[in-house]
Structure 1
Amino acid sequence: MTTLLKSATIIDASSPYHQQTKDILITDGIITKINDTITSKKEYQVLKLDNLHVSTGWFDTSVSFGEPGYEERETVKHGLLVAAKSGFTAVAVNPNTNPVIDNKSAVEFLINKANGFATNLYPIGTLTQQSKGVEMAELYDMQQSGAIAFGDYNKPIANDNLLKVALLYTQNFNGLAMSFPKNNSIAGEGVVNEGKNSTLLGLKGIPALAEELQISRDLFLLEYTGGKLHIPTISTKKSVQLIKDAKKKGLDVTCSVAVHNLFLTDDELHDFDGNKKVNPPLRALNDTKALIKGLKDGTIDMITSDHNPIDIEHKKVEFSAAKDGTIGLESAFGVLNSVLDLETIVNCLSNNPKERFGIERSVIKENEKANLSIFNPDGSYTFSEENIISTSKNSIFLDKELKGKVYGIYNNNQLILNS
């Protein structure tokens, strides 16, 4: 199959065509020609869209699908289609399934389920057996089967020695350990950010200290052990500073931030909408500003949608009883494009996460594999249920004004468009 992208503005700092508008010819999944104008032939599949932009394919490092165990929330097959139509050519899938992904057979199940799709799936294995935080899981076996990192999704490792041993052990095979930044003893039964709004609303608060104390511990352990650590979805101003200081020391640590923590604050909670109950919680405006600054100065390495489908029975309940989580793939670009420049978005959705998680990076130039996210950064719209492709509809961004439009992706010799 030959596909011709007409008048595409290229966003790829590694490409000789960065910020230039070119025609791009793709034959059997390989970019064969990039030129000012390429003449179309009858057999070509031609893509000519308003203000067409392309970048190297986006990679989301924290996506939850339901399968196995919670297929009513999302299957692997449908989840990968959602990712493709949201502009993502790769996703790392969290192990919060039933049973959890804590052994090589479970890893292989996910990889086999995702075979042949335009969006690549990379499993994350649990760090501990059954994600219970007691004994280390079969990390090496899972990596040999295709797991790219190890972490208990949204569950902190309370046992200091367990994380210490994991950081030491993973060095034997260059593994990446992940530690969710929350101290449950401090967080207690909190459900929202501790502050003015939690008091006004009469909801139990989770202090920023719960996150910062855990990050401090993790960084002390990393300094002692060496190894590689990734801290997912940080949410406070002080967390950014802690990681910045650790990087200055030379520690091998990276971190991510969830899209919603860049765009929304706990001022949103006055309607007690269960869709806005997330973990970590929405924080204050000074935290949001610090997170955006941390992305721009390189302290925060990557952005994730933290896409987590939850069925209506677990969301349309009293706020305190609602399950944590929001879907986020469909809205991710529209949100980021409202608060960040394109180069920062591409760096934090593509280059940095691929490098950290050991995913092959392509460059937009001739004779390279075509791995492209396709979008239009202009125009605005109100995000509504009509924009949701996911099986579950628990979006924190309903009725928010977002900027830009995702057209789809080209990857694995497949063009998937968001109709």
Structure 2
Amino acid sequence: MNILIKSATIIDPKSEFHNSTQDILIENGKILKISKNIKNTNNYQEVKLDNLHISQGWFDSSVCFGEPGFEERETIKNGLKVAASSGFTTIALNPNTNPILDTNSDITFVTAKSNNNAVTVLPIGALTIGSNGVDLAELYDMSTAGAVAFYDYKKPISNPNLMKIALQYAANFDGLVCSFPQENKIVGNGVMNENVTSTTLGLKGIPALAEELQVARDIFLLEYTGGKLHIPTISTAKSVELIREAKKKKLDITCSVAIHNLCLSDGSLTSFDSNFKVLPPLRTQEDIEALIAGVKDGTIDMVTTDHSPIDIEEKKVEFDRAEYGTIGLETAFGALQTVFTLKKTIDLLTKGKQRFGLEPTSITIGNKANLSLFNPDEKYTFDTKGIKSKSKNSIFKGASLKGKVYGIISNNQVSLNTL
């Protein structure tokens, strides 16, 4: 792949060209030259786009597709097209398929299906067999096949001894254990945040306590066992405090927050729109402010779209019966820019790679081209008619967003929405 990018503003603090507008010459997938004006002597394909900005390739630590088993929600092939068009060069793929990805061969299947793509897929294996929370899955075998972490997606490990053993065992090969922060016995039949809004709407609530108990328990277990722990998608102010204190103790712990939990509160549910039914649920404005503060001070290590395609048959039903989840890849950049500056947005979209075993690639001569291309200034209303995902369950339907994504250049391939 040979290409010449013209007049691109580089957003990359790790690069000597940060905040400057340059031409970038890429040959065979590597950055050959960066300069103010590069002549196209070899007649390479040129990329000239309005208000073009580029950064290191974006990463998402929690993405679901569906294949194998739930292809009606999303296939790997189309899901990767969606990720590329949304600016993501790397995604960590959750194991909540049918069958659950809990063996070496399952991980090999996903890796083979996603090979030779502009988007790099980092498969996550299930922590327990069938994600049933009873017996540990083949963690080491999956790691040899390429699994970068182990997680029973949206299913908490209720048995603390099992979590203890998982942390101890995975530590033998530097494995990353993920633990969904929810105590199911506290949740009961809850479907949204327990607050005045849930009482007003007559919906059963999920207390913040249900998350915080599990976070506190897992921190105690980590302190006892050692190992590496990642807590995906926290949503409450107290969870931020607990993790902040754990980091002060030098525990090897990281966490993420879903982008929609930074943008929307439980007040959004007054229309009973099931697209707003997510797990963990949308919380209060006070929680949002604490989460944003946690992002800014580094307590929260990364953001995620928590992209979860759900077909219409499981969403267009009564709120109580609807499945949890929202797609988020296509709105990630535009939604984050409604909360943070461009600099912080790009920082968040490029963080987290090292935790999942991938080294960042700065925009430097000689490095492989791993780039996200975008226009940060374009404002628009998100219209579900333009959704490329097979499932259309977007929590940001009708929202005012800021920032248009052009696509990516990665793995010696070009994937641009304009081509």
> TM-score scaled by structure 1?
0.99
1:360 maps to 2:359: yes
Shift of 1:345: 2.2
Per the TM alignment, residue 40 of structure 1 is displaced from its structure 2 partner at its CA by 2.1
Distance across 2 between alignment mates of 1:19 and 1:128: 46
Q: Residue 214 of structure 1 aligns to which amino acid in structure 2?
A: Q
Write the deviation string for residues 220-266 of structure 1: whole angstroms up to 9, x where unpaired.
Answer: 00000011000000001111111111001101100000010011111
* Other-structure match for 2:256: 256
- 1:338 partner SS: coil
State the partner residue of 2:402: 403
| Matched-pair contact (CA < 8 Å) for 1:86–1:418 | no
**Conserved? CA contact 1:295–1:344, under 8 Å:** no
SS at match of 2:268: helix
Partner of 2:121: 121
Please name the residue that 1:201 is paired with. 201
Alignment of 1:5-404 (within 5 A): 5-41=5-41, 43-350=43-350, 352-404=351-403
Runs of 4+ in 1 over 4 A off after TM superposition: none
Measure the CA separation in 1 of the matches of 2:299 and 2:53: 27
Task: Compute the displacement of 1:341 (Å).
Answer: 1.9
In structure 2, how many angstroms separate the alpha carbons of the residues matched to 1:16 and 1:355?
21
Q: Secondary structure of 2:380's partner?
A: strand
Task: For residue 3 of structure 2, give the secondary structure of its aligned residue in structure 1.
Answer: strand
Q: 1: distance between equivalents of 2:202 and 2:88? A: 39
SS of 1:43's equivalent?
Answer: coil
Give the TM-score, by structure 2 length. 0.99
Tell me the CA shift for residue 348 of structure 1.
Answer: 2.3
Ranges in structure 2 where 5+ consecutive residues have no aligned partner: none
Measure, in 2, the Cα distance between the counterparts of 1:47 and 1:365: 18
Deviations 1:69-118 (A, max 9, x none): 00011000000000000000011110000000000000000000001110
- Partner SS for 2:137: coil
Q: Describe the superposition over 1:308-343 as per-residue Cα deviations: whole angstroms up to 9, x where unpaired.
A: 000000000000100000000000100001111233
Give me the whole-angstrom Cα distance separating, in 1, the residues matched to 2:388 and 2:2: 28
Q: Is the 8 A contact 1:266 1:283 kept in 2?
A: yes
* TM-superposed deviation, 1:347: 2.5
Matched to 2:366, the amino acid is: N
The count of aligned residue pairs is 418
Distance 2:383 2:347 in 1: 28
- Distance (Å, rounded) in 1 between the aligned partners of 2:386 and 2:340: 21
Comparing 151-160 and 12-21, the one that deviates more: 12-21
Question: How many Å apart are 1:64 and its aligned residue?
Answer: 0.3
Q: Distance in 2 between matches of 1:372 and 1:74?
A: 25
Verify the 8 A CA contact 1:307 1:325 in the aligned structure 2.
yes
Distance in 1, matches of 2:44 and 2:348, equals 33
- Kept in 2, the 8 Å contact 1:330–1:387? The answer is no
CA contact (8 A) 1:158 1:183 kept: yes
Amino acid of the residue matched to residue 395 of structure 1?
A: S
CA distance in 1: counterparts of 2:386 and 2:214, whole angstroms: 37
Residues in 2 aligned to 1:341 and 1:243: alpha-carbon distance in whole angstroms: 25
Secondary structure at 2:92's aligned position in 1?
strand
SS at match of 1:162: helix
Rounded to whole Å, the distance in 2 between the matches of 1:345 and 1:152 is: 28
Amino acid at match of 2:405: V
Deviation at 1:375, TM superposition (A): 0.6
Give the RMSD, CA atoms, in angstroms. Answer: 0.9
Q: Is the 8 A contact 1:222 1:229 kept in 2?
A: yes
Of stretches 34-43 and 389-398 in structure 1, the one that deviates more from structure 2 is: 34-43
- Distance in 1, matches of 2:337 and 2:4, equals 26
Structure-1 separation of matches of 2:345 and 2:164: 33
Larger deviation, residues 320-329 vs 4-13: 4-13
Q: Which amino acid aligns with 2:397?
A: L
- Cα distance in 2 for partners of 1:412, 1:145 equals 20
Quote the offset at 1:42 in angstroms: 5.6
Shift of 1:280: 0.3
**CA offsets 1:131-178 (integer angstroms, 9 cap, x no match):** 000000000000000000001000000000000001111111000000
- 1:360 & 1:105 partners in 2: Cα distance? 26
Q: Is the 8 A contact 1:4 1:46 kept in 2?
A: yes
CA deviation vs aligned residue, 1:36-56 (integer Å, no higher than 9, x gap): 111123621111111111111
Gaps of 5+ in 1: none
- The DSSP-based 3-state class of the residue aligned with 1:55 is strand
